Structure 1
Amino acid sequence: MASEKPGSIEQEQDQSLTELEQTLLSMENLDRASPEIWPEKYPGMTDFINSFTPPSTVKLPYSRQLNQEDQNYLHQLAALPTAGLISKVKELHDIAYQLGQEESKEVTRGKYLNLFKPRRQK
C-alpha cells in the first residue's frame, strides 16, 4: 500500500493539513467576568422587562434579508480558493483579536477609574 510508506504523497498531504490546522488554532483566553463587573442593580429586573417584550418583535441580526451588496460579497467569498478563504478567516480573526484587546484595555481603565462600583445613596 502506497499510503503507508514514509514520504508518500498522501502522508505529505496529511502532514500539511495538520500543520495548517495548527496555524488556525487559537490559544486566546476569553474572560467572561462581565456579569461580575456589571451586576444587575435589582436581581430579576432583566427577566421582568423581557416578559413585556413579545418574542415575535425581536428580530435577530442574521434573520434579515440579504441585499444585493451582501449577495455580491457572498459570491466573492464563494469564488475564493481555499488558501484565499483561509487568509480571509485569519484576517477576521486578527481584527476580532485586536477588538478584544482594545475592549480589555477599556474595561481595565474603567476598573481603575471606579466606573463599575455601585453608587452610594445619600
Structure 2
Amino acid sequence: MASEKPGSIEQEQDQSLSDLEQTLMSMENLDRASPEIWPEKYPGMTDFVNSFTPPSAVKLPYSKELSQDDQNYLHQLAALPTAGLISKVKELHDIAYQLGVEESKEVTRGKYLNVFKPRQKQK
C-alpha cells in the first residue's frame, strides 16, 4: 500500500493535517462561573432583569427550525474532507477578521466626525 511507505504523499498529507490541527488548538480557559473574573456591574441586576422575562418566552437563536437551504449547506459541510473543512473555517476566520478591520475604521471615522458625542441643546 502507498500509505505504508515512509515519505508517501498520503503520509505527508496526514502530517500536514496534524500540524494544521496543532496551530488551530486553543489552550484558553475561560471560567465564566467565577464572580471575580466576570463581576456584575450592578449586583443583583441579572436577577432583576430575569424576573421580568419568563424563561419560556426567551427564544434562543439556534432553536429555530432550519430551512431547506440551511440543511443543504450543513450536508455539504458534513461531506467535506477534513482539509476542506479546515479551509472553510480559515475562510470564515478571514472574513470575520476583515469585518473587524472595517468596523474599526468606521468607528475611528465616527470619532473624527464627532458622531458619538451627545448633541448640545440649542438655547
In structure 2, what is the Cα distance between the partners aligned to 1:38 and 1:66?
33
Could you tell me which residue of structure 2 aligns to residue 64 of structure 1?
64
In structure 1, what is the Cα distance between the partners aligned to 2:29 and 2:100?
10
**Matched-pair contact (CA < 8 Å) for 1:2–1:8:** yes
Instruction: Give the superposition deviation at 1:117.
Output: 1.4
Instruction: Give the superposition deviation at 1:56.
Output: 3.3
Instruction: Give the superposition deviation at 1:118.
Output: 2.2
**Matched-pair contact (CA < 8 Å) for 1:3–1:11:** yes
In structure 1, what is the Cα distance between the partners aligned to 2:36 and 2:24?
31
* Residue range with higher mean Cα deviation, 7-16 or 30-39: 30-39
Q: What RMSD, in angstroms, separates the aligned Cα atoms of the two structures?
A: 6.8
Instruction: Give the superposition deviation at 1:88.
Output: 0.6
Instruction: Give the superposition deviation at 1:22.
Output: 5.4
Once the two structures are superposed, residues 72-93 of structure 1 have per-residue CA deviations (whole angstroms, 9 ceiling, x without a partner) of 1111111110000001101111
In structure 1, what is the Cα distance between the partners aligned to 2:118 and 2:38?
9
Distance change (3 Å), C-alpha of 1:39 and 1:8: closer
Aligned residue for 1:37, secondary structure, equals: coil
* Residue range with higher mean Cα deviation, 78-87 or 34-43: 34-43
Once the two structures are superposed, residues 36-87 of structure 1 have per-residue CA deviations (whole angstroms, 9 ceiling, x without a partner) of 9999999999998886555533322211011222111111111110000001
**Matched-pair contact (CA < 8 Å) for 2:17–2:83:** no
In structure 1, what is the Cα distance between the partners aligned to 2:66 and 2:7?
48
* Residue range with higher mean Cα deviation, 24-33 or 82-91: 24-33
**Matched-pair contact (CA < 8 Å) for 2:32–2:38:** no
User: Share of identical aligned residues, percent?
Assistant: 90
Compute the TM-score of the two structures, normalised by the length of structure 1.
0.59
Number of matched residues? 122
